[in-house]
Structure 1
Amino acid sequence: MREILVLGGTRFFGKKLVSRLIGQPDNRVTLLTRGNAPDDFGDKVRRLRANRSDPQQLEDVLGNSSWDVVYDNICYSPNDALAAQNLFKDRTAKYILTSSMSVYDPSPEALTEAVFDPYRYPIRRGDRDDFTYQEGKRLAEAVLLQQSGFPVSAVRFPIVLGTDDYTRRLHFHIEHIRNGIPIGVPNLDARISFITSDEAADFLDGLGRSKLTGPVNACSDGTVSIGEVIAMLEREIGIKADVRSETPEEDASPFGIEGSWYMDTTYAQTAGFAFLELPEYLPSLIASIDSEFRK
Protein backbone atom coordinates (compact mmCIF):
# COMPACT_ATOMS: atom_id res chain seq x y z
CA MET A 1 0.00 0.00 0.00
CA ARG A 2 1.40 3.38 -1.03
CA GLU A 3 0.94 6.18 1.48
CA ILE A 4 0.40 9.45 -0.39
CA LEU A 5 0.09 12.94 1.05
CA VAL A 6 -1.34 15.80 -1.03
CA LEU A 7 -0.88 19.36 0.19
CA GLY A 8 -3.75 21.12 -1.51
CA GLY A 9 -5.97 19.07 -3.76
CA THR A 10 -9.52 20.38 -3.51
CA ARG A 11 -9.73 22.29 -6.79
CA PHE A 12 -8.67 22.28 -10.44
CA PHE A 13 -5.90 19.87 -11.44
CA GLY A 14 -5.10 19.10 -7.79
CA LYS A 15 -8.61 17.77 -7.33
CA LYS A 16 -8.32 15.72 -10.51
CA LEU A 17 -5.02 14.29 -9.27
CA VAL A 18 -6.68 13.13 -6.05
CA SER A 19 -9.50 11.53 -8.04
CA ARG A 20 -6.94 9.54 -10.00
CA LEU A 21 -5.02 8.53 -6.89
CA ILE A 22 -8.04 7.26 -4.97
CA GLY A 23 -9.13 5.29 -8.02
CA GLN A 24 -6.05 3.08 -7.64
CA PRO A 25 -6.47 0.33 -5.03
CA ASP A 26 -2.82 0.37 -3.93
CA ASN A 27 -3.00 4.02 -2.75
CA ARG A 28 -4.01 5.41 0.63
CA VAL A 29 -4.44 9.17 0.25
CA THR A 30 -4.29 11.92 2.85
CA LEU A 31 -5.26 15.52 2.07
CA LEU A 32 -3.79 18.44 3.97
CA THR A 33 -5.62 21.75 3.50
CA ARG A 34 -6.85 24.66 5.56
CA GLY A 35 -10.28 23.10 5.41
CA ASN A 36 -11.83 26.12 3.71
CA ALA A 37 -12.81 24.39 0.47
CA PRO A 38 -15.22 21.43 0.51
CA ASP A 39 -14.53 18.28 -1.48
CA ASP A 40 -16.60 15.33 -2.61
CA PHE A 41 -14.12 12.54 -1.87
CA GLY A 42 -16.14 11.24 1.09
CA ASP A 43 -14.41 8.58 3.15
CA LYS A 44 -11.98 7.74 0.33
CA VAL A 45 -9.38 10.13 1.76
CA ARG A 46 -8.07 11.00 5.18
CA ARG A 47 -8.16 14.75 5.94
CA LEU A 48 -5.76 16.88 7.93
CA ARG A 49 -6.25 20.57 8.58
CA ALA A 50 -3.38 23.04 8.90
CA ASN A 51 -2.04 26.31 7.54
CA ARG A 52 0.59 25.34 4.95
CA SER A 53 2.74 28.29 6.02
CA ASP A 54 2.73 27.45 9.74
CA PRO A 55 5.53 24.89 10.36
CA GLN A 56 4.33 24.11 13.88
CA GLN A 57 0.80 23.35 12.70
CA LEU A 58 2.19 21.09 10.00
CA GLU A 59 4.37 19.22 12.46
CA ASP A 60 1.49 18.80 14.92
CA VAL A 61 -1.02 17.38 12.41
CA LEU A 62 1.43 15.11 10.58
CA GLY A 63 2.78 13.55 13.75
CA ASN A 64 5.20 10.69 13.11
CA SER A 65 3.69 9.59 9.80
CA SER A 66 5.83 8.83 6.76
CA TRP A 67 4.91 8.85 3.08
CA ASP A 68 5.87 7.15 -0.15
CA VAL A 69 4.96 10.26 -2.16
CA VAL A 70 4.25 13.84 -1.10
CA TYR A 71 2.60 16.18 -3.62
CA ASP A 72 2.99 19.85 -2.71
CA ASN A 73 0.62 22.01 -4.77
CA ILE A 74 0.70 25.01 -2.43
CA CYS A 75 4.36 25.91 -1.89
CA TYR A 76 4.99 29.53 -2.91
CA SER A 77 8.00 30.65 -0.89
CA PRO A 78 11.42 29.59 0.38
CA ASN A 79 10.12 29.50 3.93
CA ASP A 80 7.41 27.03 2.92
CA ALA A 81 10.07 24.92 1.20
CA LEU A 82 12.41 25.08 4.20
CA ALA A 83 9.61 23.90 6.48
CA ALA A 84 8.89 20.99 4.13
CA GLN A 85 12.57 20.12 3.87
CA ASN A 86 12.88 19.89 7.64
CA LEU A 87 9.57 18.15 8.21
CA PHE A 88 9.84 15.45 5.55
CA LYS A 89 13.51 14.57 6.00
CA ASP A 90 13.71 10.76 6.33
CA ARG A 91 9.91 10.63 6.03
CA THR A 92 9.23 10.47 2.30
CA ALA A 93 10.59 8.49 -0.63
CA LYS A 94 9.61 11.17 -3.16
CA TYR A 95 8.58 14.81 -3.02
CA ILE A 96 6.82 16.47 -5.97
CA LEU A 97 6.67 20.25 -6.01
CA THR A 98 4.17 21.87 -8.35
CA SER A 99 6.26 24.68 -9.77
CA SER A 100 5.62 26.90 -12.77
CA MET A 101 6.84 28.02 -16.17
CA SER A 102 6.98 31.41 -14.44
CA VAL A 103 10.50 30.56 -13.24
CA TYR A 104 11.53 31.39 -16.83
CA ASP A 105 11.65 34.79 -18.45
CA PRO A 106 10.13 35.07 -21.96
CA SER A 107 12.41 33.87 -24.75
CA PRO A 108 12.22 33.52 -28.53
CA GLU A 109 13.63 30.00 -28.12
CA ALA A 110 11.97 26.97 -26.50
CA LEU A 111 12.80 26.90 -22.79
CA THR A 112 14.64 23.83 -21.51
CA GLU A 113 15.02 23.00 -17.83
CA ALA A 114 18.65 24.22 -17.92
CA VAL A 115 17.60 27.80 -18.67
CA PHE A 116 16.79 28.24 -14.97
CA ASP A 117 19.14 26.22 -12.74
CA PRO A 118 17.76 25.96 -9.18
CA TYR A 119 20.81 24.01 -8.02
CA ARG A 120 22.95 27.17 -8.30
CA TYR A 121 20.36 29.80 -7.48
CA PRO A 122 21.20 31.84 -4.34
CA ILE A 123 18.80 31.05 -1.50
CA ARG A 124 17.07 33.75 0.46
CA ARG A 125 14.54 33.29 3.23
CA GLY A 126 11.11 34.87 3.18
CA ASP A 127 7.38 34.32 3.01
CA ARG A 128 5.02 34.44 0.05
CA ASP A 129 4.32 38.16 0.38
CA ASP A 130 8.03 38.98 0.32
CA PHE A 131 8.50 37.96 -3.32
CA THR A 132 6.89 38.03 -6.71
CA TYR A 133 5.25 34.78 -7.81
CA GLN A 134 8.22 34.09 -10.10
CA GLU A 135 10.82 34.64 -7.41
CA GLY A 136 8.88 32.66 -4.80
CA LYS A 137 8.74 29.63 -7.09
CA ARG A 138 12.41 30.00 -8.04
CA LEU A 139 13.44 30.06 -4.40
CA ALA A 140 11.15 27.18 -3.43
CA GLU A 141 12.78 25.05 -6.13
CA ALA A 142 16.25 26.14 -5.02
CA VAL A 143 15.65 25.22 -1.38
CA LEU A 144 14.19 21.80 -2.07
CA LEU A 145 16.62 20.79 -4.81
CA GLN A 146 19.75 22.06 -3.08
CA GLN A 147 19.12 21.08 0.51
CA SER A 148 16.61 18.22 0.79
CA GLY A 149 17.74 14.77 1.80
CA PHE A 150 15.04 13.09 -0.28
CA PRO A 151 14.34 12.86 -4.03
CA VAL A 152 12.56 15.95 -5.35
CA SER A 153 10.83 16.68 -8.67
CA ALA A 154 9.85 20.25 -9.50
CA VAL A 155 7.15 20.22 -12.19
CA ARG A 156 7.08 23.37 -14.29
CA PHE A 157 3.55 23.78 -15.64
CA PRO A 158 2.50 26.55 -18.04
CA ILE A 159 -0.95 28.14 -17.88
CA VAL A 160 -3.38 25.31 -17.13
CA LEU A 161 -6.63 25.30 -19.12
CA GLY A 162 -9.92 23.53 -18.56
CA THR A 163 -13.65 23.96 -18.27
CA ASP A 164 -13.01 23.75 -14.51
CA ASP A 165 -10.44 26.59 -14.45
CA TYR A 166 -11.38 28.63 -11.39
CA THR A 167 -9.30 31.55 -12.72
CA ARG A 168 -11.48 31.50 -15.87
CA ARG A 169 -8.76 32.55 -18.32
CA LEU A 170 -10.39 31.26 -21.50
CA HIS A 171 -13.74 32.27 -20.03
CA PHE A 172 -12.39 35.84 -19.77
CA HIS A 173 -11.83 36.00 -23.53
CA ILE A 174 -15.22 34.53 -24.40
CA GLU A 175 -17.01 36.93 -22.07
CA HIS A 176 -15.17 39.92 -23.50
CA ILE A 177 -15.79 38.94 -27.12
CA ARG A 178 -19.48 38.18 -26.56
CA ASN A 179 -19.98 41.47 -24.70
CA GLY A 180 -17.96 43.59 -27.12
CA ILE A 181 -15.38 44.54 -24.51
CA PRO A 182 -11.85 45.32 -25.74
CA ILE A 183 -9.12 42.79 -24.92
CA GLY A 184 -5.60 44.03 -24.24
CA VAL A 185 -2.92 42.03 -26.06
CA PRO A 186 0.55 43.62 -26.26
CA ASN A 187 1.98 41.11 -28.77
CA LEU A 188 -0.26 39.00 -30.99
CA ASP A 189 2.75 37.14 -32.38
CA ALA A 190 4.05 35.90 -29.02
CA ARG A 191 3.94 32.10 -28.80
CA ILE A 192 2.88 30.32 -25.65
CA SER A 193 2.55 26.87 -24.05
CA PHE A 194 -0.54 25.46 -22.33
CA ILE A 195 -1.60 22.24 -20.63
CA THR A 196 -5.07 20.95 -19.72
CA SER A 197 -6.08 20.24 -16.14
CA ASP A 198 -6.62 16.56 -17.01
CA GLU A 199 -3.20 16.36 -18.63
CA ALA A 200 -1.56 18.02 -15.61
CA ALA A 201 -3.25 15.57 -13.24
CA ASP A 202 -2.19 12.61 -15.38
CA PHE A 203 1.40 13.84 -15.44
CA LEU A 204 1.56 14.25 -11.66
CA ASP A 205 0.04 10.82 -11.17
CA GLY A 206 2.62 9.21 -13.45
CA LEU A 207 5.48 11.18 -11.94
CA GLY A 208 4.64 9.73 -8.54
CA ARG A 209 5.59 6.30 -9.90
CA SER A 210 8.57 7.53 -11.92
CA LYS A 211 12.21 7.88 -10.91
CA LEU A 212 12.41 11.22 -12.71
CA THR A 213 13.80 13.93 -10.43
CA GLY A 214 14.91 17.54 -10.63
CA PRO A 215 13.20 20.27 -12.65
CA VAL A 216 10.90 18.93 -15.36
CA ASN A 217 8.84 20.80 -17.95
CA ALA A 218 5.32 19.51 -18.60
CA CYS A 219 3.12 21.03 -21.30
CA SER A 220 1.07 20.06 -24.32
CA ASP A 221 2.91 19.43 -27.57
CA GLY A 222 3.10 22.43 -29.87
CA THR A 223 2.62 26.14 -29.36
CA VAL A 224 0.18 28.78 -30.51
CA SER A 225 0.50 32.52 -30.87
CA ILE A 226 -1.89 34.75 -28.95
CA GLY A 227 -3.21 35.89 -32.31
CA GLU A 228 -4.02 32.29 -33.24
CA VAL A 229 -5.88 31.84 -29.95
CA ILE A 230 -7.94 34.97 -30.69
CA ALA A 231 -8.69 33.65 -34.20
CA MET A 232 -9.90 30.32 -32.76
CA LEU A 233 -12.15 32.21 -30.35
CA GLU A 234 -13.58 34.35 -33.16
CA ARG A 235 -14.33 31.31 -35.34
CA GLU A 236 -16.13 29.47 -32.54
CA ILE A 237 -18.08 32.44 -31.19
CA GLY A 238 -18.80 34.02 -34.56
CA ILE A 239 -17.97 37.51 -33.34
CA LYS A 240 -14.94 39.64 -34.17
CA ALA A 241 -12.77 40.37 -31.12
CA ASP A 242 -11.90 43.98 -30.28
CA VAL A 243 -8.16 43.53 -29.65
CA ARG A 244 -6.05 46.49 -28.60
CA SER A 245 -2.42 46.83 -27.62
CA GLU A 246 -3.38 48.73 -24.47
CA THR A 247 -6.48 48.57 -22.26
CA PRO A 248 -7.30 49.13 -18.59
CA GLU A 249 -5.70 46.42 -16.45
CA GLU A 250 -9.00 44.62 -15.85
CA ASP A 251 -9.37 44.06 -19.60
CA ALA A 252 -5.81 42.87 -20.22
CA SER A 253 -5.67 39.32 -21.58
CA PRO A 254 -4.39 36.69 -19.09
CA PHE A 255 -2.41 35.44 -22.11
CA GLY A 256 -1.08 38.90 -22.93
CA ILE A 257 2.66 38.33 -22.80
CA GLU A 258 5.24 40.72 -24.23
CA GLY A 259 7.37 37.99 -25.83
CA SER A 260 7.20 34.29 -26.64
CA TRP A 261 7.13 31.99 -23.62
CA TYR A 262 7.05 28.27 -24.33
CA MET A 263 8.76 25.12 -23.09
CA ASP A 264 10.66 22.12 -24.41
CA THR A 265 9.54 18.76 -22.93
CA THR A 266 12.32 16.51 -24.26
CA TYR A 267 13.41 15.56 -20.72
CA ALA A 268 9.95 14.27 -19.77
CA GLN A 269 9.33 12.61 -23.12
CA THR A 270 12.67 10.79 -22.96
CA ALA A 271 11.50 9.38 -19.61
CA GLY A 272 8.38 7.98 -21.31
CA PHE A 273 5.81 10.73 -20.81
CA ALA A 274 3.54 11.77 -23.68
CA PHE A 275 1.52 14.95 -24.11
CA LEU A 276 -1.58 16.00 -26.02
CA GLU A 277 -1.30 18.00 -29.24
CA LEU A 278 -2.23 21.57 -28.33
CA PRO A 279 -3.53 22.67 -31.77
CA GLU A 280 -5.81 19.62 -31.88
CA TYR A 281 -7.65 20.08 -28.58
CA LEU A 282 -7.71 23.84 -28.07
CA PRO A 283 -10.58 24.58 -30.51
CA SER A 284 -12.78 21.91 -28.91
CA LEU A 285 -11.98 23.22 -25.42
CA ILE A 286 -13.00 26.71 -26.53
CA ALA A 287 -16.23 25.25 -27.94
CA SER A 288 -16.99 23.47 -24.66
CA ILE A 289 -16.56 26.63 -22.61
CA ASP A 290 -18.50 28.76 -25.09
CA SER A 291 -21.38 26.29 -24.98
CA GLU A 292 -21.83 27.17 -21.30
CA PHE A 293 -22.36 30.81 -22.29
CA ARG A 294 -24.80 29.88 -25.05
CA LYS A 295 -26.88 27.88 -22.56
Structure 2
Amino acid sequence: MKKVLVLGGTRFFGKHLVEALLQDGHDVTIATRGITEDFFGSRVKRLIVDREDEKQLTERLTDKSYDIVYDNLCYSSNAAKIICEVLRGKTKKYVMTSSMAVYEPALSLSEEDFNPYEYAIAYGDRNDFNYGEGKRLAEAVVFQQATFPVVAARFPVVIGENDYTKRLQFYVEHIVREEPIAVNDLDGKLSFIHEEEAGEFLAWCGMKDIEGPINACSNGVVSTREIIHFIEENTGIKSLIQEVGDHVAPYNELTNCTLHNGKANELGFPFRGLKIEIEKVLRYYIHAMK
Protein backbone atom coordinates (compact mmCIF):
# COMPACT_ATOMS: atom_id res chain seq x y z
CA MET A 1 0.00 0.00 0.00
CA LYS A 2 1.33 3.42 -1.02
CA LYS A 3 0.64 6.73 0.67
CA VAL A 4 -0.61 9.00 -2.11
CA LEU A 5 -1.48 12.69 -2.45
CA VAL A 6 -3.63 13.83 -5.39
CA LEU A 7 -3.69 17.56 -6.15
CA GLY A 8 -7.05 18.10 -7.84
CA GLY A 9 -8.96 14.83 -7.77
CA THR A 10 -12.62 15.78 -7.90
CA ARG A 11 -13.27 16.56 -11.57
CA PHE A 12 -13.24 14.59 -14.82
CA PHE A 13 -10.34 12.09 -15.07
CA GLY A 14 -9.05 13.07 -11.61
CA LYS A 15 -12.00 11.15 -10.16
CA HIS A 16 -11.00 8.04 -12.10
CA LEU A 17 -7.40 8.36 -10.88
CA VAL A 18 -8.57 8.45 -7.26
CA GLU A 19 -10.96 5.54 -7.87
CA ALA A 20 -8.19 3.45 -9.47
CA LEU A 21 -5.87 4.14 -6.52
CA LEU A 22 -8.58 3.22 -4.00
CA GLN A 23 -9.40 0.02 -5.90
CA ASP A 24 -5.73 -0.96 -5.59
CA GLY A 25 -5.84 -0.39 -1.83
CA HIS A 26 -3.74 2.76 -1.51
CA ASP A 27 -3.98 5.38 1.24
CA VAL A 28 -5.25 8.43 -0.69
CA THR A 29 -5.42 12.10 0.30
CA ILE A 30 -7.04 14.57 -2.10
CA ALA A 31 -6.04 18.23 -1.98
CA THR A 32 -8.50 20.70 -3.50
CA ARG A 33 -9.94 24.14 -2.82
CA GLY A 34 -13.02 22.37 -1.48
CA ILE A 35 -15.34 23.88 -4.08
CA THR A 36 -16.29 20.76 -6.06
CA GLU A 37 -18.02 18.10 -3.98
CA ASP A 38 -16.58 14.60 -4.19
CA PHE A 39 -18.29 11.28 -3.61
CA PHE A 40 -15.45 9.30 -2.05
CA GLY A 41 -16.85 9.61 1.46
CA SER A 42 -14.64 8.21 4.19
CA ARG A 43 -12.45 6.32 1.69
CA VAL A 44 -10.13 9.33 1.28
CA LYS A 45 -8.47 11.93 3.47
CA ARG A 46 -8.87 15.58 2.44
CA LEU A 47 -6.76 18.72 2.47
CA ILE A 48 -8.35 22.08 1.63
CA VAL A 49 -5.67 24.17 -0.06
CA ASP A 50 -5.04 26.54 -2.96
CA ARG A 51 -2.54 24.62 -5.10
CA GLU A 52 -0.88 27.86 -6.29
CA ASP A 53 -0.44 29.42 -2.83
CA GLU A 54 3.06 28.35 -1.80
CA LYS A 55 2.73 29.50 1.83
CA GLN A 56 -0.58 27.70 2.33
CA LEU A 57 0.61 24.54 0.57
CA THR A 58 3.77 24.48 2.70
CA GLU A 59 1.71 24.85 5.89
CA ARG A 60 -0.76 22.11 4.91
CA LEU A 61 2.04 19.68 4.11
CA THR A 62 4.12 20.33 7.24
CA ASP A 63 5.04 16.98 8.86
CA LYS A 64 3.55 15.09 5.87
CA SER A 65 5.26 12.94 3.27
CA TYR A 66 3.99 10.71 0.47
CA ASP A 67 5.24 7.86 -1.68
CA ILE A 68 3.62 9.44 -4.75
CA VAL A 69 2.19 12.89 -5.47
CA TYR A 70 -0.11 13.33 -8.48
CA ASP A 71 -0.60 16.86 -9.79
CA ASN A 72 -3.55 17.55 -12.09
CA LEU A 73 -3.25 21.31 -11.53
CA CYS A 74 0.18 22.30 -12.85
CA TYR A 75 -0.32 24.84 -15.65
CA SER A 76 2.66 27.21 -15.41
CA SER A 77 6.33 27.58 -14.52
CA ASN A 78 5.44 29.35 -11.26
CA ALA A 79 3.12 26.50 -10.23
CA ALA A 80 5.88 24.00 -11.05
CA LYS A 81 8.48 25.99 -9.08
CA ILE A 82 6.16 25.97 -6.04
CA ILE A 83 5.83 22.18 -6.23
CA CYS A 84 9.61 21.70 -6.51
CA GLU A 85 10.10 23.75 -3.34
CA VAL A 86 7.18 22.42 -1.30
CA LEU A 87 7.74 18.72 -2.08
CA ARG A 88 11.50 18.75 -1.48
CA GLY A 89 12.16 15.75 0.78
CA LYS A 90 8.45 14.93 0.97
CA THR A 91 7.85 12.49 -1.90
CA LYS A 92 9.52 9.57 -3.66
CA LYS A 93 7.79 10.32 -6.97
CA TYR A 94 5.84 13.10 -8.69
CA VAL A 95 3.41 12.47 -11.56
CA MET A 96 2.29 15.54 -13.48
CA THR A 97 -0.62 15.67 -15.90
CA SER A 98 0.77 17.19 -19.09
CA SER A 99 -0.54 17.50 -22.62
CA MET A 100 -0.09 16.88 -26.33
CA ALA A 101 -0.10 20.70 -26.49
CA VAL A 102 3.62 20.72 -25.59
CA TYR A 103 4.33 19.59 -29.16
CA GLU A 104 4.21 21.43 -32.46
CA PRO A 105 1.32 19.75 -34.34
CA ALA A 106 2.39 16.69 -36.35
CA LEU A 107 1.36 13.07 -36.86
CA SER A 108 2.59 10.25 -34.60
CA LEU A 109 4.42 12.52 -32.16
CA SER A 110 6.91 10.76 -29.89
CA GLU A 111 8.21 11.85 -26.50
CA GLU A 112 11.48 13.05 -28.05
CA ASP A 113 9.65 15.70 -30.10
CA PHE A 114 9.66 18.01 -27.07
CA ASN A 115 12.64 18.00 -24.72
CA PRO A 116 11.78 19.65 -21.37
CA TYR A 117 15.26 18.99 -19.97
CA GLU A 118 16.75 21.64 -22.27
CA TYR A 119 13.82 24.04 -22.69
CA ALA A 120 14.57 27.63 -21.62
CA ILE A 121 12.54 28.59 -18.55
CA ALA A 122 10.57 31.83 -18.29
CA TYR A 123 8.65 32.33 -15.05
CA GLY A 124 5.02 33.35 -14.91
CA ASP A 125 1.54 32.34 -13.87
CA ARG A 126 -1.12 30.48 -15.82
CA ASN A 127 -2.54 33.69 -17.32
CA ASP A 128 0.86 34.77 -18.66
CA PHE A 129 1.05 31.98 -21.25
CA ASN A 130 -1.18 30.08 -23.62
CA TYR A 131 -2.07 26.55 -22.52
CA GLY A 132 0.66 24.78 -24.53
CA GLU A 133 3.45 27.12 -23.46
CA GLY A 134 2.30 26.89 -19.84
CA LYS A 135 2.62 23.11 -19.97
CA ARG A 136 6.02 23.26 -21.74
CA LEU A 137 7.37 25.56 -19.04
CA ALA A 138 5.83 23.52 -16.21
CA GLU A 139 7.53 20.39 -17.57
CA ALA A 140 10.82 22.25 -18.01
CA VAL A 141 10.83 23.40 -14.38
CA VAL A 142 10.00 20.03 -12.82
CA PHE A 143 12.39 18.04 -15.01
CA GLN A 144 15.25 20.51 -14.54
CA GLN A 145 14.77 21.43 -10.88
CA ALA A 146 12.91 18.72 -8.95
CA THR A 147 14.88 16.78 -6.34
CA PHE A 148 12.57 13.77 -6.77
CA PRO A 149 11.75 11.47 -9.74
CA VAL A 150 9.23 12.99 -12.18
CA VAL A 151 6.81 11.56 -14.75
CA ALA A 152 4.84 13.81 -17.12
CA ALA A 153 1.83 12.05 -18.67
CA ARG A 154 1.14 13.73 -22.01
CA PHE A 155 -2.53 13.37 -22.90
CA PRO A 156 -4.34 14.31 -26.09
CA VAL A 157 -7.93 15.60 -25.90
CA VAL A 158 -9.68 13.70 -23.10
CA ILE A 159 -13.24 12.60 -23.91
CA GLY A 160 -15.95 11.15 -21.71
CA GLU A 161 -19.44 11.28 -20.36
CA ASN A 162 -18.35 13.77 -17.67
CA ASP A 163 -16.45 16.15 -19.97
CA TYR A 164 -17.29 19.62 -18.68
CA THR A 165 -15.69 21.27 -21.76
CA LYS A 166 -18.52 19.77 -23.89
CA ARG A 167 -16.28 19.78 -26.97
CA LEU A 168 -17.31 16.42 -28.40
CA GLN A 169 -20.88 17.09 -27.28
CA PHE A 170 -20.86 20.22 -29.49
CA TYR A 171 -20.97 18.05 -32.62
CA VAL A 172 -23.94 16.01 -31.41
CA GLU A 173 -25.89 19.06 -30.25
CA HIS A 174 -25.34 21.05 -33.45
CA ILE A 175 -26.25 18.17 -35.75
CA VAL A 176 -29.36 17.19 -33.76
CA ARG A 177 -30.52 20.83 -33.65
CA GLU A 178 -29.66 21.21 -37.35
CA GLU A 179 -27.30 24.08 -36.64
CA PRO A 180 -24.27 24.73 -38.89
CA ILE A 181 -20.76 23.61 -37.94
CA ALA A 182 -17.69 25.40 -39.33
CA VAL A 183 -14.82 22.98 -40.03
CA ASN A 184 -11.62 23.69 -42.00
CA ASP A 185 -10.25 20.17 -42.35
CA LEU A 186 -12.73 17.30 -42.16
CA ASP A 187 -10.07 14.65 -42.76
CA GLY A 188 -7.42 15.85 -40.31
CA LYS A 189 -6.47 13.10 -37.86
CA LEU A 190 -6.83 13.35 -34.08
CA SER A 191 -5.81 11.35 -31.00
CA PHE A 192 -8.07 11.00 -27.96
CA ILE A 193 -8.19 9.19 -24.64
CA HIS A 194 -11.24 8.33 -22.53
CA GLU A 195 -11.46 9.94 -19.07
CA GLU A 196 -11.48 6.54 -17.33
CA GLU A 197 -8.43 5.37 -19.27
CA ALA A 198 -6.62 8.63 -18.46
CA GLY A 199 -7.22 8.10 -14.74
CA GLU A 200 -6.06 4.49 -14.94
CA PHE A 201 -2.96 5.55 -16.87
CA LEU A 202 -1.97 8.11 -14.24
CA ALA A 203 -2.37 5.51 -11.49
CA TRP A 204 -0.19 3.11 -13.53
CA CYS A 205 2.51 5.79 -14.04
CA GLY A 206 2.85 6.18 -10.30
CA MET A 207 3.24 2.48 -9.65
CA LYS A 208 5.60 1.62 -12.53
CA ASP A 209 9.35 2.16 -12.29
CA ILE A 210 9.39 4.89 -14.93
CA GLU A 211 10.56 8.49 -15.19
CA GLY A 212 10.38 11.22 -17.81
CA PRO A 213 7.73 12.27 -20.32
CA ILE A 214 5.33 9.60 -21.56
CA ASN A 215 2.55 9.78 -24.15
CA ALA A 216 -0.88 8.28 -23.53
CA CYS A 217 -3.70 7.89 -26.04
CA SER A 218 -6.20 5.25 -27.07
CA ASN A 219 -5.08 3.03 -29.96
CA GLY A 220 -6.03 4.46 -33.35
CA VAL A 221 -6.87 7.90 -34.71
CA VAL A 222 -10.11 9.50 -35.87
CA SER A 223 -11.08 12.37 -38.18
CA THR A 224 -13.76 15.02 -37.76
CA ARG A 225 -15.49 13.51 -40.80
CA GLU A 226 -15.75 10.14 -39.02
CA ILE A 227 -17.20 11.78 -35.89
CA ILE A 228 -19.81 13.64 -37.94
CA HIS A 229 -20.65 10.57 -40.05
CA PHE A 230 -21.25 8.45 -36.93
CA ILE A 231 -23.62 11.07 -35.51
CA GLU A 232 -25.50 11.32 -38.83
CA GLU A 233 -25.83 7.53 -39.05
CA ASN A 234 -27.11 7.23 -35.49
CA THR A 235 -29.54 10.16 -35.53
CA GLY A 236 -30.73 10.11 -39.14
CA ILE A 237 -30.00 13.85 -39.32
CA LYS A 238 -27.72 15.37 -41.97
CA SER A 239 -25.05 17.76 -40.73
CA LEU A 240 -24.73 21.32 -42.03
CA ILE A 241 -20.99 21.76 -42.60
CA GLN A 242 -19.47 25.13 -43.51
CA GLU A 243 -15.86 26.09 -44.20
CA VAL A 244 -16.33 29.35 -42.30
CA GLY A 245 -19.02 30.48 -39.90
CA ASP A 246 -19.89 31.47 -36.34
CA HIS A 247 -20.22 27.91 -34.99
CA VAL A 248 -16.55 26.90 -35.22
CA ALA A 249 -16.09 23.24 -34.35
CA PRO A 250 -13.98 22.23 -31.34
CA TYR A 251 -10.67 20.58 -32.32
CA ASN A 252 -10.70 22.67 -35.53
CA GLU A 253 -7.21 23.97 -34.74
CA LEU A 254 -5.98 20.57 -33.48
CA THR A 255 -6.37 18.39 -36.56
CA ASN A 256 -3.43 16.42 -37.92
CA CYS A 257 -1.96 16.20 -34.44
CA THR A 258 -1.64 12.64 -33.12
CA LEU A 259 0.41 10.88 -30.47
CA HIS A 260 2.53 7.74 -30.70
CA ASN A 261 1.91 5.61 -27.58
CA GLY A 262 4.58 2.98 -28.22
CA LYS A 263 6.68 3.75 -25.14
CA ALA A 264 3.81 3.14 -22.69
CA ASN A 265 2.64 0.19 -24.77
CA GLU A 266 6.04 -1.49 -24.52
CA LEU A 267 6.07 -0.86 -20.77
CA GLY A 268 2.83 -2.81 -20.53
CA PHE A 269 -0.06 -0.36 -20.41
CA PRO A 270 -3.07 -1.90 -22.22
CA PHE A 271 -4.57 0.99 -24.20
CA ARG A 272 -8.17 0.74 -25.37
CA GLY A 273 -9.35 1.03 -28.97
CA LEU A 274 -10.31 4.61 -29.82
CA LYS A 275 -13.14 3.72 -32.21
CA ILE A 276 -15.06 1.81 -29.51
CA GLU A 277 -14.44 4.51 -26.88
CA ILE A 278 -15.45 7.51 -28.97
CA GLU A 279 -18.56 5.77 -30.33
CA LYS A 280 -19.60 4.91 -26.76
CA VAL A 281 -19.36 8.56 -25.71
CA LEU A 282 -21.14 9.80 -28.85
CA ARG A 283 -24.00 7.33 -28.21
CA TYR A 284 -24.26 8.66 -24.67
CA TYR A 285 -24.59 12.26 -25.94
CA ILE A 286 -27.09 11.25 -28.63
CA HIS A 287 -29.22 9.38 -26.09
CA ALA A 288 -29.09 12.37 -23.71
CA MET A 289 -30.68 14.58 -26.38
CA LYS A 290 -33.68 12.33 -26.96
User: Which TM bucket (shorter chain)?
Assistant: over 0.9
Whole-Å separation in 2 of the counterparts to 1:69 and 1:246: 47
More deviation in 257-266 or 122-131? 257-266
Q: How far has the Cα of 1:245 moved from its partner?
A: 1.6
Whole-Å separation in 1 of the counterparts to 2:111 and 2:245: 34
Q: How far has the Cα of 1:259 moved from its partner?
A: 4.2
Contact residue 187 and residue 258 of structure 1 kept, 8 A: no
- Counterpart amino acid of 2:165? T
Q: How far has the Cα of 1:193 moved from its partner?
A: 0.1
Gaps of 5+ in 2: none
| Aligned-partner SS, 1:38 | coil
CA deviation map 1:125-177 (0-9, x unaligned)? 11011100010000000000111111100000011111111111221111111
Q: 2:217 aligns with which of 194, 216, 219?
A: 219
Whole-Å separation in 2 of the counterparts to 1:77 and 1:258: 21
Which residue does the alignment assign to 1:57?
56
TM-score, normalization: structure 2?
0.97
Q: How far has the Cα of 1:285 moved from its partner?
A: 2.3
Gaps of 5+ in 1: none
Whole-Å separation in 2 of the counterparts to 1:65 and 1:72: 16
Which residue does the alignment assign to 2:165?
167
Contact residue 99 and residue 156 of structure 1 kept, 8 A: yes
Alignment of structure 1 residues 189-208 onto 2, 5 Å:
189-208=187-206
Q: Does 1:264 align with 2:263?
A: no
Whole-Å separation in 2 of the counterparts to 1:144 and 1:220: 26
Which residue does the alignment assign to 1:177?
175
Which residue does the alignment assign to 1:246?
244
More deviation in 204-213 or 280-289? 280-289
Q: How far has the Cα of 1:257 moved from its partner?
A: 2.5
Q: 1:287 aligns with which of 267, 278, 283?
A: 283
Whole-Å separation in 2 of the counterparts to 1:270 and 1:146: 26
Which residue does the alignment assign to 2:33?
34
CA RMSD of aligned residues (A): 1.1
Q: 2:112 aligns with which of 89, 111, 114?
A: 114
Whole-Å separation in 1 of the counterparts to 2:192 and 2:266: 20
Contact residue 52 and residue 58 of structure 1 kept, 8 A: yes
Q: 2:184 aligns with which of 170, 173, 186?
A: 186
Whole-Å separation in 1 of the counterparts to 2:173 and 2:254: 23
More deviation in 273-282 or 194-203? 273-282
Whole-Å separation in 1 of the counterparts to 2:96 and 2:205: 11
- Counterpart amino acid of 1:100? S
| Aligned-partner SS, 2:70 | strand
